[in-house]
Amino acid sequence: MLKVNYDGAVFCETNEAGLGAVIRNSAGRVVASGVERITLPQSVAEVEAAAARRAIVLAKELNLSSITLEGDSEIITRALQDAEQSFATFGNLIDEIRFHADSFLNCNFSYVERKENSVTYSLARHAKHVSGLVVWREDVPPPIVSVLLADSG
């Protein structure tokens, strides 16, 4: 079971948002990480849902079989855990995440406190410095290494 953490960050000055994802194995080692800069959605919840979608798509592209998708948005986690269709503005993203979740042998949705999600928050903030989507295999971008080491220790 691999942990797939996600987070979003808002860049109001440029009307954009950053999405961050990190995938770690049971020993806490990075399998992959990614960042993406997108046009700012209408709400923070939509940013978080977009980050969750980016994370699960990354996990799917890596052909992983069992994951726990973990984020620090209680609203998004509850929406993903709820069997009912979401009629929120981010409902289409929730539906897409659930669709992708069905392709895994095992996929759980979990909430994590913000302080336990510092690597993905830093990745989301780092998206300000990239164009489009950037993915690292078994690594994080250099500016995030210190956050990763602090999180691991």
Q: What is the pLDDT along the chain (153 residues), one digit of tens a residue?
A: 899 999 999 999 999 999 999 999 999 999 999 999 999 998 999 999 999 999 999 999 999 999 999 999 999 999 999 977 777 888 899 999 999 999 999 999 999 999 899 999 999 999 999 998 999 999 999 999 999 998 865
Domain 2-152, classified CATH 1.10.357.10, yes or no: no
Q: What is the pLDDT of residue 119?
A: 96
- Burial category of 10 from C-beta neighbours within 10 Å (exposed 0-12, middle 13-18, buried 19 and up): middle
Report the alpha-carbon distance of residue 75 to residue 38 in Å, rounded. 21
Q: What is the pLDDT of residue 152?
A: 67
Per the structure block, which two tokens stand in for 22?
């990190």
CB burial of 61-91 (b: ≥16 within 10 Å; e: otherwise) equals eeebeebebbbbbebbbebbeeeeebeeebe
Report the alpha-carbon distance of residue 120 to residue 149 in Å, rounded. 13
Q: What is the pLDDT of residue 83?
A: 79
Report the alpha-carbon distance of residue 92 to residue 29 in Å, rounded. 32
Element (H, E) at 25: none
